[in-house]
Amino acid sequence: MHATAEPVQTLDAGWDMAVIGEGESTLVSLVDAKGDPTGITGLAYRDATGNVKRTGKAKQRDLNDFPGFALKWDKFNALEITSGCIYACRFCQTPFMFSAKFRHRSVENVRWHVDQMRARGLRDVRFITPTALSYGSQTDEPNLDAVEELLASCREGIGPNGRVFFGSFPSEIRPEHVSREALRLVKKYCDNNNIIVGAQSGSDRVLDAAKRGHGVEEVKRAARLGIEEGFRINVDMIFGMPGESRDDVDDSLALARELADLGARIHAHTFMPLPGTPWRDAPPGDVDPETIREVDRLSRRGALYGHWQKQRDHAARLAAAAEAYPRPGRSRTILPTVSTAPAPAKPTDGCATC
């Protein structure tokens, strides 16, 4: 993804070429052409004079056209079942790299992969998707019939000694998609006893600015339903969002405490200004000492986990890279801070893929 968002920076790091966009067909074409970029779309490289050349947009292919893992080399991973995302959250790379629409791998194709796994003695089926309950849908409404068809086929395919995981790492469920019917489908066909719910903030103002498409009440409702149905609920939250005020932070901490009291766990993150996103030029996320103390208290309770401290360092490095490679004509998009005071009177050679 970094090569797609920052091809010049990638070339300056020592790569001969950067693959922009989805690299499956581009990389195969480049290998077939023995490294000659002529006529191959989806590339960036420097010509003999040092100027950056771009060869246009690579063609997006059906997910079914490419295997989800390398059978020849017995290399397996979680299976990508959906690419792209209609929810254009301002901090996320997915909709801006893969387009703001869903492309789903077919049930038949997923089943073929599961059959290959079982034939090789593998037991666990996991999925990569930006929003698990959006499988089979092209709108913001879940298609539970399509989800059930997928899960039933995977359950049958992996067999009685296998396990299916859905809505847990490395995927998540949007809070407004959580329903008793959906949770009972997961319980019926899957083996995970935990669900990851993407909340991101306890402030409706920040959620609206981030274009999340849901509010805080949906997060609370999702956690309550999940716990009532017997799941351990893990809630993703991001601290240090652009323009976050003290009131916004307090709202997030209050939500974290309320969810912890219900029995949920908070998966804490620090905001990172990712290349290729609308908030790429926002300042790096930071967590003030008062917030750190409260986060530590939740952590000692066993109610919070995550690599948010390391992400603070990553965020600073990403911000420095954005300063070094500014986008021409692109202004910083920073939320206005809401004051709690009374308002005043008016280097290696080769080819880097995305």
Query: pLDDT (tens digit, 9 = 90+) per residue, 326-345?
Result: 765 454 444 444 433 333 33
Nearest 10 degrees: Cα torsion 45, 276, 13, 353:
-60
- At 7, list the tokens: 């091809």
Q: Quote the pTM value.
A: 0.85
Residue range 248-279, pLDDT digits in tens: 999 999 999 999 999 999 999 999 998 889 99
For residue 185, how many other CB atoms are within 10 A of its CB? 22
Residue range 157-205, pLDDT digits in tens: 999 999 999 999 888 999 999 999 999 999 999 999 999 999 999 999 9
Domains for the chain: give ranges and CATH numbers. Answer: 1-61 (no CATH), 62-328 (3.80.30.20)
Q: Where are the alpha helices (DSSP H) in the chain?
A: 2-5, 7-12, 24-32, 94-98, 107-119, 144-158, 180-189, 204-209, 216-228, 246-262, 289-300, 308-324
